[in-house]
Structure 1
Amino acid sequence: MTDPIQEWAARIRKAAADGSAVCLRGGGTKDFLGRTPMGEVLDTRGYTGIVSYEPSELVVTARAGTPLVELEAALAEAGQMLAFEPPRFAPGGTVGGCVAAGLAGPRRAAVGGVRDFVLGVRLLDGRGDDLRFGGQVMKNVAGYDVARVMAGSLGTLGLLLEVSLKVLPRPPAEATLAFALDEPAALERVNAWSGQPLPVSATAWRAGRLHVRLSGAAAAVEAAIRRLGGEVLADTAAHGLWAALRDHTDDFFTDDRPLWRLSVPSDAPPLDVPGETLVEWGGAQRWLKGEQSAAELRARVAAVGGHATLFRHGDRAGEVFHPLLPAMAALQRRLKQTFDPAGVFGPGRLYGGM
């Protein structure tokens, strides 16, 4: 039986020699991210399986082609989870794609993002070399934390083979509250709550209604309900709400208008821009739907200390990510040159000319 790693390494070396490109893909559920993918597809779904899992150590290592649902099912059996709540968007997502996309769901503001849970990776670089970075414990970093750089790289730095992730216990109790508030009042409320000892694990505001999820010990959740008030949603409705926000199956996300992802300080006021808005992460992530001037929108967002990404639809051949400052652009180029000197992986996927 052919070793897929040796086969992939040979393909990468050939592409480097030929000056051709390779598009790394698992389930293809996040092909819409970034600029239009280029290159011959290298499908990772044949390299699957959980390599090791130590529930008592809160660490799991899985091959990159492992279906995300398979990994999450194994964690659920032990009462654990990927705390950053990776979005699915469509069936078929893989562990490698989850890390390469670097996207987190509603719990992000409470627990951290994908890179905060990446402990180590094994990868093939643009020379076809099999490399390992990090490990399977939390204190494993000496110097630059290469493993976490892979989170959000969209397959432009290397082909992930294995990923070691920190996992967390599932909360013993959860409840979701709903409040009728306009956007300014909702932002004021969630920012005030963020400075208090409350078990808030997610927030979402849309069209005059704020939802707040509480997670933790049953006593803490019950005390928070009494303190905050609001309408308590039924468990089934609450689960559906957060799953739809995580996976973008909520009605807000299901039309073809350009969808912008705005990352701003949580206490930034409502942005005076046209379009429909959905606010998550205590105000730090704001989705904007509608036709926009990219330059004008990015200038408005930058003025409050944030950045704007054309997340879905719109012009995928143009620049979809917020322009980098010169120092950050230079760092990105050095990383690309170090890991992929021949430009084999996803040319231009993040930024044109890179």
Structure 2
Amino acid sequence: MSVTLKNQDQTDLLLEQVQTALAQKYPLAICGGGSKSFLGHSVQAQTLHVGQHQGIVDYDPSELVVTVRSGTTITELSQALHEHGQYLPFEPAHFSGKATVGGVVASGLSGPRRPWVGSVRDYVLGCRVITGDAKHLRFGGQVMKNVAGYDVSRLMAGSMGTLGVITEVSFKLLPVPRRVAARRLSCTPEQSRLLLQKWQALSYPLSGALYTEEALHVRLEGGHSSVTQALEAIGGEVEQDGFWEQLRELSLPFFKDARPLWRVAQAVDAGQVSWPGDALNDWGGSLVWLKSDAPKQEIHALAEQQGGHATLYGNATESGHYAQLAAPLMKFHQQLKDRLDPARIFNPGRMYPGL
């Protein structure tokens, strides 16, 4: 059955609201579907609703490129792409159908497939943005290129709406894998590390690797023959249905624990860490999901020791926040903010004070 997406261009309305905010000097809190409210600090500002700015602007399946308005939900876009056997490789969460294209890019969050195919930023070809001086500008396009010294379209990935209002995004797509299979193997953490090193050296078509509860969960995607050969060598038990979708959506039983949730990115070669709480090792070990009541300072310090950083996902009593940036990086962020949002009206303080 054909998927029909809503088609509403609210560019003029959004521009008018930004112009008014700029003229009257009040800040704006950008909101799409509200599915990422757990990220960053709360923003005391008037809400700029982008969720009704929807629809596919341009899609040529033969070119593996789609341009879509930022309020379009990831669920609707994925369904439309699936009709042509294509998908967003970085595996964004749908969050009960609320996640939008703009929110996915602004948060920069990628799913379990990220280490093997790349991140959100790697698949953004271009975007249109309303800047802090109320101009609607196009950056990039449908090919990779830099603009005015900055690859602004990629800078939007992970900026949490602090640099501008994303109105359109052009994504590079890939064909859906011909075969997908998942297995579960009982082993120790050290055994799982050695197995993954071996399988990667043999170029097995891995697209997911999570260690939890004395078991290694792996997913393989690719051609029929390559996946079949890898499965014969890997063995293990067939994974329960929906496991990888639940991991993507952070809905596994692990995530229902009431303790704060931390997302810890660490170096690929990081050693074993005794985390203060319960942990899942995703991305083949370079991403740790941590449920812990430990002090923030302790978790941030441990993450830094592993060559990475920790992000707190907010809960019912506290907004999540990011690790503090080093002074040179903060200076660079301030300079970007000065260029794209000099009046500082977009999502002030969502990531860091002063941004």
d(CA) in 2 for partners of 1:70, 1:248? 20
d(CA) in 1 for partners of 2:257, 2:173? 34
Written as runs of structure 1 = structure 2, the 5 A alignment for 1:278-297 is: 278-297=280-299
Query: Alignment partner for residue 232 of structure 1, among 230, 238, 241?
Result: 238
State the Cα deviation string for residues 54-73 of structure 1 (Å, max 9, x = none): 11111000011112111111
User: Residue 243 of structure 1 aligns with which residue?
Assistant: 245
User: Residue 255 of structure 1 aligns with which residue?
Assistant: 257
d(CA) in 2 for partners of 1:256, 1:21? 33
d(CA) in 2 for partners of 1:152, 1:222? 37
User: Residue 150 of structure 1 aligns with which residue?
Assistant: 156
Moved over 4 A (4+): none
d(CA) in 2 for partners of 1:284, 1:273? 14
User: Residue 131 of structure 2 aligns with which residue?
Assistant: 125
Partner of 1:310, secondary structure, is strand
Give the letter aligned to residue 64 of structure 2: L
Written as runs of structure 1 = structure 2, the 5 A alignment for 1:27-66 is: 27-66=33-72
CA contact (8 A) 2:207 2:219 kept: yes
CA contact (8 A) 1:33 1:312 kept: yes
User: Residue 307 of structure 2 aligns with which residue?
Assistant: 305
Give the letter aligned to residue 254 of structure 1: K
Give the letter aligned to residue 336 of structure 1: K
User: Residue 331 of structure 2 aligns with which residue?
Assistant: 330
- Alignment partner of 1:140 is 2:142: no
| Identical columns (%) | 42
User: Residue 217 of structure 1 aligns with which residue?
Assistant: 223
User: Residue 104 of structure 1 aligns with which residue?
Assistant: 110
| TM-score, normalising length: structure 1 | 0.93
Give the letter aligned to residue 244 of structure 2: W
- Runs of 5+ unmatched residues, structure 2: 1-7
User: Residue 5 of structure 2 aligns with which residue?
Assistant: none
State the Cα deviation string for residues 106-163 of structure 1 (Å, max 9, x = none): 11111001000000000101111010000112x3335421101101111111111110
State the Cα deviation string for residues 200-247 of structure 1 (Å, max 9, x = none): 0111111111110010000000100112222233xxx34x00000000
State the Cα deviation string for residues 74-118 of structure 1 (Å, max 9, x = none): 110000000001012233221111111111111111100100000
User: Residue 173 of structure 1 aligns with which residue?
Assistant: 179
CA RMSD of aligned residues (A): 1.7
d(CA) in 1 for partners of 2:251, 2:52? 28
Question: Are residues 351 and 226 of structure 1, via their aligned partners in 2, closer, same or farther at CA, if it must alter by over 3 Å?
Answer: same
d(CA) in 2 for partners of 1:98, 1:36? 18
User: Residue 341 of structure 1 aligns with which residue?
Assistant: 342
CA contact (8 A) 1:187 1:267 kept: no
Displacement after TM superposition at 1:8 (Å) = 1.9
Displacement after TM superposition at 1:10 (Å) = 2.4
d(CA) in 2 for partners of 1:201, 1:92? 25
Partner of 2:190, secondary structure, is helix
CA contact (8 A) 1:184 1:269 kept: no
d(CA) in 2 for partners of 1:320, 1:196? 39
State the Cα deviation string for residues 309-351 of structure 1 (Å, max 9, x = none): 112328745x821111211111111111111111111110001
CA contact (8 A) 1:265 1:304 kept: yes
Give the letter aligned to residue 15 of structure 2: A
Partner of 2:80, secondary structure, is helix
Give the letter aligned to residue 219 of structure 2: R
CA contact (8 A) 1:191 1:267 kept: no
Give the letter aligned to residue 135 of structure 2: D
- Runs of 5+ unmatched residues, structure 1: none
- 250-259 or 108-117, which moves further after superposition? 250-259
Question: Are residues 3 and 97 of structure 1, via their aligned partners in 2, closer, same or farther at CA, if it must alter by over 3 Å?
Answer: closer
User: Residue 354 of structure 2 aligns with which residue?
Assistant: 353
d(CA) in 2 for partners of 1:136, 1:308? 33
d(CA) in 1 for partners of 2:194, 2:262? 23
d(CA) in 1 for partners of 2:318, 2:26? 21
User: Residue 4 of structure 2 aligns with which residue?
Assistant: none
Partner of 2:54, secondary structure, is coil
CA contact (8 A) 1:258 1:314 kept: no
User: Residue 266 of structure 2 aligns with which residue?
Assistant: 264
User: Residue 276 of structure 2 aligns with which residue?
Assistant: 274
Partner of 1:97, secondary structure, is helix
| TM-score, normalising length: structure 2 | 0.93
Displacement after TM superposition at 1:3 (Å) = 7.1
- 342-351 or 184-193, which moves further after superposition? 184-193
Partner of 2:342, secondary structure, is coil
